[in-house]
Structure 1
Amino acid sequence: MKKLEIFVIKNSTREKATIECDGRTATLSITFASGLKKTYSEADIYLCFGSLRKEFSDIKFLCKGSKINVYPSAMASQMSSGIVAYETQIGDSDAKLVRIFDYEENELTNDINEQISYRKKWAESLQI
């Protein structure tokens, strides 16, 4: 199980949280500074992170996986268990591969459906 620290903003206060993820079982656990621990199991780690963000929608997760324009391809999900995804820009076919728990503080969302919608808009922007 891989263990790493991320930053979150909870009640206007920046704090650390610990993420543990197991790609083999597609399980993600988070332990907040308060000691609260939650575990999620989905098809991949990215979807686990989406469930986590949905449950704690009042917390801002400062991670690439929370960025509106980050979403894994089917191949990236399969090869990395959802730990890496693509960061895209409308009209630009050169997507950048990123780790979803790398630090980010811009254009964040807790709604995975917004990310799915953005991904569809991005794909449509590439069609001629």
Structure 2
Amino acid sequence: MEFGYEVFHPDVDVVADFYVAVLGFRRDEDASADYVTVVRDGLRVGCSRHADAPLIPRRPPAGSEIVLRVDDVRGEHARVVAADWPIADPLQQRPWGSTDFRVFDPSGQYVRIADSGSAR
């Protein structure tokens, strides 16, 4: 089973490059100037061109929180820091047991990167 979501941005390469360079996705080979798909571990993100897409950060309760569960959350954090991408919420253990951190993608989506052992 695969899961996915779509993000909207005036320049699909900007948002696709974020997912590849910062979060370790790979580009799907079928790409155009208007749509690029990036893939990682059964998750597909469609990066769609939309000239009027609002690029403001949307932190819950406005918008949504996208959760990427990973085996090595500290390694993922190091990858994001090495890519010099801003961290929205620091790496920490949460009261419910999850260790995670958050970033905003270039389209303003709030992305939580969490350890895969967390149920939330």
TM range (shorter): under 0.3
TM-score (norm 2): 0.26
Q: Which protein is richer in helix relative to its size? A: 1
TM-score (norm 1): 0.25
Structure with bigger RCO (C-alpha 8 Å, 6+ apart) = 2
